[in-house]
Amino acid sequence: MLARCVQSISDIKFREIKLQRGQFVFLTRICEQKGINLIDLSNILKVDKATTTKAVQKLMEEGYVRRERSAGDKRMWHLFPSLKAEKVYQYIIEEENRNIENCFSGFTVSEKENAYSLLKRMRENIEQDWKKQKTLKEEK
């Protein structure tokens, strides 16, 4: 429910900059890791390549992302934020930080650290299953 609430708030906020559902996550990673390829972006976000391709295509159509063919492997494309993306990146991060602050409202420093530690362990646990499921899917 926490993730759904944050996602919903973000979707409402980011409509004004013409980002559709969940695209801000793709855009922030591209801004933070200039030159990332689709496969690495998919793996970081734990989504399939088709989802990443659709999101990136929409970001390109809105002028947020440009792609360049890899010099070493002509089948590979690298993704870069446009000037437009660089301008909205700070706004996106500020909104993400505001959401985090809202989530931790009323928490002590110790409670925040404990929550972070527990969430990190949960992510590590589920990531193992994600990797296993992904491998099984690829083997089929």
Q: Between residues 75 and 92, which one has the greater pLDDT?
A: 92
Give residue 18's Cα distance to chain centre. 16
Cβ neighbours for 32, distance < 8 A, ≥ 6 positions apart: none
Confidence of residue 6 (pLDDT cuts 50, 70, 90): confident
Does pTM top 0.85 for this prediction?
A: no
- Judge contact between 44 and 55, C-beta under 8 A: no
Report whether pLDDT(44) > 80.
yes
Q: Is residue 104 pLDDT above 90, yes or no? A: yes
pLDDT band at 85 (very low <50, low <70, confident <90, very high): very high
